[in-house]
Amino acid sequence: MEIPTKLIAFGDSGIFGWGDSDGGGWVQRLRRHWMPRENAPVLYNLGVRGDGLERLSARFQTEFKARGELRRQSPQGLIIGVGLNDAARIGRRDGRQQLDPAAFLFGMEQLLAKAKKLAPVFVIGLTPVNEAQMPFAQCLWYLNQDINYYNRLLEEACLGADVPFLNLWNGISSEIKSVPHIWFDSLCSDGIHCNSLGHQWIFEQVSCWPELLLWAGLPPEGACTIY
C-alpha cells in the first residue's frame, strides 16, 4: 500500500476559508484541485478563526502529529498562514497591537525552528484590508501600514530559517491608494476577510508556487503574481 504524502495547513480564518461561500476557501480549492491527480498530497485544513501566532504555536505540534493517518506516520509538509490578527490594534486606531512586532518576529522564528524539525515548511504572506470598514467588531483596527510591517517580519523570519515564503502583497503605506482598488472587490463587507474572488486569487497563487510544487512532485502550473 502506497502511503500518500500529507500536507497540513495551519493558520487563522484565511486558512479556514471564511468568506468563501462558493469554494470553501483557497485551501479547500487546492485540496479539490489536487484530489484527481495521482500521487498528489492529501491536504488537511487546520485553520481556526481568530487565531494569532501564540494560539497557533500552542496547538500546532499536537495537531500536526495527529494527522499521520497510519500508525507511526507523520505528515510530510506544512503550510503556515498567520499574522493578520497579531497586527490588529485594540480599542482604538493608535492602540496597542495584539502581539508586539518584536514578540511576533521572535515567536515566528521559534515556531519555524520547531516546525522544520517535523517537516518541510511553507509560509503564506498577508493580504491588505479596506481600512474604511474599520473597526472590526467595534474594537479592532486592521491597518495596512501595520499589515505590511508584519508581512515583512514574516519574510524576515522565513529568510533566516531558509523557509519558502509566498509574498501576496507589496504594500508600502497605509494609504488607500497603495492597495489596488480591484482588491476591495475581493474582500467581504467587513473589509478584512477574502470573499470567493479573493480566495480564488490566492488559490491561483498557491497552486503555481514553484517551491510547493517541487516538494509535492507536481509539474509547474504557470506564473504567480502579487498585488
Taking the C-alpha atoms of residue 180 and residue 88, their distance in angstroms, rounded to an integer, is 21
β partners of residue 97 = 89
Q: What is the pLDDT of residues 1-36, one digit of tens each?
A: 567 899 999 999 999 999 999 999 999 999 999 999
What proportion of the chain, given as a percentage, has pLDDT over 90?
Answer: 80
pTM of the model: 0.92
User: In the chain, what are the domains?
Assistant: 6-216 (3.40.50.1110)
CA-to-CA distance for 57 and 61, rounded, in angstroms?
Answer: 8
Segment 62-88, tens digit of pLDDT: 998 888 776 677 899 999 999 999 999
Going from the C-alpha of 158 to that of each of 1, 14, 165, 167, 219, the distances in angstroms are 35, 19, 6, 11, 24
